[in-house]
Amino acid sequence: MSQEQIKDEETQFIWTRKHLLGLRDLSKEELLHIFETADGFSDLSQRTVKKAPVLRGKLVVNLFFEDSTRTRSSFSLAASRLSADVMEFTAKSSSISKGETLRDTARNLEAMGIDIVICRHSAGGAPHLLSESINACIVNAGDGYHEHPTQGLLDLYTIREMGRSFEGLKVAIVGDIAHSRVARSNIWALNKLGAKVFLVGPPTLMPSAASQLPVTICHDFDEILPELDVVNMLRIQFERIKSHAFPSVREYSRMFALTGKRMERAKSDLIVMHPGPINRGVEIESNVADGPNSTILRQVTNGVTIRMAVLYLVNQAAVAEREA
Ligand code: CP
């Protein structure tokens, strides 16, 4: 019996989405199914032969219009671990610079026979546009301030791996929420699984529609910190901030950085997360980022596992759609 058949019989769940555009619309069952699928791939990276033939003969394109270290390389690695061919597309050296549109770029790539597109774009909704323009599976690798679904999934997968139950878990997302697609994906998924989400930061770094989100807003990190089970520290996205959001970086750090001193007031088993890239000394001190409570590098490892699961599932849905 193949690995695929074993997994399907164990979970009794039929995955039907050939695109992963965000976590907002995913059900609790879908989220749990992704985690269970990831469990099936989690030991692949430890094997002597780090390959499974799950996507053999498939072509995955990394279509990145913004810089990336973790997401791009882990999607490449996930695809190659599943035996897919991987095509790297970098907007800066493409015919985008000559005025070619996103839709035309994707349609030309599709004419070469691609199966799955991983898309990162500065415009919210760009992956959705692609999903309406071409037949390939589309996976959102971060679109504007909108969503970064695989980051949200790997964050939650890491919390689950630490043995925590989501029901009633107190999770704070701290920092530049306004410009964070990571925050939005975490908010939707954590809520679906029963966690209580706090957004912590200065009012100027809160999203304009924060009151419509299923969260509690808090501007005093010191007040809320002792209650928390998980903190997800966000980088200030200086490249996206158009005006002064706070008096100075030093002032911001004094109020909101996770420091060794602050950790003394936190629960001893507080999970410290960060999606990366880190600005050491701004939102988090090095001794905390590299300390015993940190899961930052474990998140990166889990990113490969979660992305293998997502690639496997969207391809399964595409195959089922073709055979229907
Ligand atoms: N967390 C994350 O999206 O990192 P990269 O920008 O390096 O991909």
We report the CATH number of the domain holding residue 197 as: 3.40.50.1370
Helix and strand element counts for the chain (H, E): 12, 9
pLDDT tens by residue, 252-270: 999 999 999 999 999 999 9
> Would 156 be classed as within a structural domain?
no
Q: Are residues 137 and 202 in the same domain?
A: no
The answer, yes or no, to whether any atom of ligand 1 lies below 6 A from the CB of 303, is no
Q: Which of 66, 68, 143 to mutate to test the pocket of ligand 1 (most atoms within 8 A of CB)?
A: 68
Question: Are 17 and 34 part of one and the same domain?
Answer: yes
Asked, for residue 53, whether it belongs to a domain, the answer is: yes
Tell me which residue range forms the domain holding 193.
Answer: 163-294
- 185 in contact with ligand 1, CB cutoff 6 A: no
In this prediction, residue 9 has a pLDDT band, given cuts at 50, 70 and 90, of low
119 and 140 both lie in a single domain: yes
Let me know whether 205 and 225 are in one domain. yes
DSSP E strands in the chain: the ranges are 59-64, 85-90, 116-121, 137-143, 170-174, 196-200, 216-218, 230-233, 271-273
Tell me, yes or no, whether 36 lies in a domain.
yes
Does 73 reside within a domain? Answer: yes
Within a domain: residue 85? Answer: yes
Q: To test the ligand 1 pocket, which listed residue (64, 74, 151) has its Cβ within 8 A of the most ligand atoms? A: 151
Residues 180 and 306 in one domain: no
Q: pLDDT tens digits for 104-135? A: 999 999 999 999 999 999 999 999 999 999 99
> How many separate domains does the chain show?
2
Examine the domain organization and report whether 58 and 144 are in the same domain.
yes
Q: Is residue 142 part of a domain?
A: yes
SS3 32: helix
Least trusted range by pLDDT, from 216-225, 238-247, 279-288, 302-311? 238-247
314 assigned to some structural domain: yes
Q: Across all residues in the chain, what is the average pLDDT?
A: 94
Of 47, 45, 34, the closest CA to residue 152 belongs to: 34
Q: Which residues does 88 contact at the CB level (< 8 Å), separation at least 6?
A: 62, 76
